[in-house]
Chain A
């Protein structure tokens, strides 16, 4: 008998329903994501050195000591430089390549588009750990890579590489290009194909159609993929941890590996590790802000 419900009853039921629906997810989210994020900043400013979190040795705030520590460590800059290389390869390698492949498939220039797409995307779904060990064995001195090079250059001798980041960057390009292919194809398919056909009938070349119709329609997606690439690059951990663990002599270290080593290798240095992760978040916000600024300045006009 809904008629007997008063307005206040209905309001109360509504409020109770709202919180019953929201709270389970929200509490989990708060406790494993929101709170740890804030806690991380607090830790980076403290002198916590392991042991009981509450009720153990008293924890004091020590200001920006760990940040100073960090900025005077040459390994921090080495890791940062490697991260920037990954950002570079992602933004200027994966995205253009992914776009090119998506464009060829979308325009129906080749047959078997479905087959090409399925195969090129395949590496992305496989666990990074499997990929990392596979390539580690492939590039190893006793692996297949030296053999393969010797097919073309019989004099090739395996030596310690002067550029240990090169294989890592190659694998990153290999693994994730398919993801950008998928994103671009999905967004290309949203463009009204009548517009493209009309332009072609009016005599626009393939290049002009691309330049004046397709690229402008995708400018928003380009920015989104750039942001994905930047934040993904700064996060890269699994692949490098498995392939090189940052070696030889930290030369393939990245910020996340550097942080992991400080927190979980040897004597734990949690405040320093949290200073690193805070710096990582700040860098990623700066780079994302920069991307948005570039978009505003140079493109994105409807």
Chain B
């Protein structure tokens, strides 16, 4: 009896050890490239060529100083903040407004309009990229902030509408009706009741919009051409992508490019994972 138990616990222990090994393997796989990148950003290009895998012999900051200035990072980061901030706020406001109307104000049009937003969840950027480029050109918004912001807001709307409407539906209608009886207008109800009560789903929508907009590359790359309007991903691609032999500077630029999202992730880890799970509703 004792023998059986012993072999069983030995086997269990081996299994547990193996499981740990596998988990550690995947964790190392996930972060090693990033650590490799960070380490090499502190080497001079000459040192990198001699020592590609090890830790730097002298930790130098010159790559960062160079990349920061020559890559025009202050303006790139500022632009990204502007695009992401305005898109997120506008998406929140518009999708809460429409979500409130869809959920709580009876109207025959809801079925069609709400339905068209839901179809939008399935639309891909590719299918609108070329026509959008032509339309933006035609209305004269090519190479302007507005010409980037309007598409960004429109693209973020379906997810905001979907999550917002579902959430607002769950707010008790009795609350709204009693406010109506007291003479409140729908606008007053929206501001005084809906916005505060829907704040939790607002966080989710904001997280999804921020990550999506901050990292967006394809559209802004074709809708703008001037340096002053570039966002961080486009700037990193144009600057670091072109440095095919000046590795130190390239790596420093990449590290600068990933720091904002890394910070965002560190501060909002719980909310981000919750948002991703909530956003996985396509189909």
Complex interface bits, A103-145 against B, C-beta within 8 A gives 1, otherwise 0: 0100001100001111111110111111001110110001110
CB neighbours of A1 from chain B (8 A): 183
Q: In the complex, A130 Cα to B30 Cα: how many Å?
A: 15
Interface of B is mostly: helix
Interface of A is mostly: helix
Picked from B31, B134, B151, B181, the residue with its CB within 8 Å of the CB of A119 is B31
Judge whether A148 is part of the interface by a CB distance below 8 angstroms: yes
Judge whether A182 is part of the interface by a CB distance below 8 angstroms: yes
CB neighbours of A225 from chain B (8 A): 280
Picked from B20, B124, B214, the residue with its CB within 8 Å of the CB of A231 is B124
A186 and B273 within 8 A (CB)? yes
CB neighbours of A182 from chain B (8 A): 273, 276-277
Complex interface bits, A1-30 against B, C-beta within 8 A gives 1, otherwise 0: 110000000000111011011101110111
A238 and B217 within 8 A (CB)? yes
> What band does the interface of chain A fall in when counting residues whose beta carbon is under 8 Å from B?
35 or more
CB neighbours of A13 from chain B (8 A): 185-186
Given contacts A32-B151, A127-B257, A277-B129, contact A235 B236 (CB under 8 A): no
Given contacts A17-B105, A127-B217, A135-B33, contact A227 B155 (CB under 8 A): no
One of B55-63, B66-74, B95-103, B197-205 contacting the partner:
B95-103
Of residues 101 to 145 in B, which have CB atoms within 8 Å of A's CB atoms? 101-102, 105-107, 109, 113, 116-117, 120, 122-135, 137-138
- B106: nearest residue on chain A (CB-CB)? A14
Judge whether A242 is part of the interface by a CB distance below 8 angstroms: yes
- A17: nearest residue on chain B (CB-CB)? B186
B129 and A134 within 8 A (CB)? no
CB neighbours of B131 from chain A (8 A): 35-37, 39-40, 43, 274
Q: In the complex, A186 Cα to B154 Cα: how many Å?
A: 28
Picked from A109, A115, A147, the residue with its CB within 8 Å of the CB of B52 is A147
Given contacts A183-B280, A237-B126, contact A129 B217 (CB under 8 A): yes
CB neighbours of A143 from chain B (8 A): 52
A264 and B258 within 8 A (CB)? no
Q: In the complex, A128 Cα to B117 Cα: how many Å?
A: 27
Q: In the complex, A227 Cα to B122 Cα: how many Å?
A: 10
Q: In the complex, A20 Cα to B97 Cα: how many Å?
A: 9
One of A71-79, A85-93, A191-199, A280-288 contacting the partner:
A280-288
CB neighbours of B283 from chain A (8 A): 223-224, 227-228, 288, 292
B241 and A133 within 8 A (CB)? yes
Q: In the complex, A1 Cα to B98 Cα: how many Å?
A: 28
Q: In the complex, A120 Cα to B53 Cα: how many Å?
A: 22
CB neighbours of A115 from chain B (8 A): 27
Judge whether A70 is part of the interface by a CB distance below 8 angstroms: no
Judge whether A62 is part of the interface by a CB distance below 8 angstroms: no
- A187: nearest residue on chain B (CB-CB)? B277
CB distance from A97 to the nearest CB of B (A): 8
CB distance from B230 to the nearest CB of A (A): 12
Pairs A–B under 8 Å by Cβ, sample size 5: A22-B102, A39-B131, A123-B33, A242-B217, A242-B241
**Further 15 A-B residue pairs, CB within 8 A, beyond A26-B98, A37-B123, A227-B282:** A2-B183, A20-B187, A28-B154, A33-B128, A53-B137, A109-B19, A126-B261, A127-B257, A147-B52, A186-B277, A234-B124, A238-B218, A238-B233, A263-B129, A284-B124
Shortest 5 CB-CB contacts between residues of A and residues of B: A32-B154, A186-B277, A25-B94, A17-B186, A227-B283
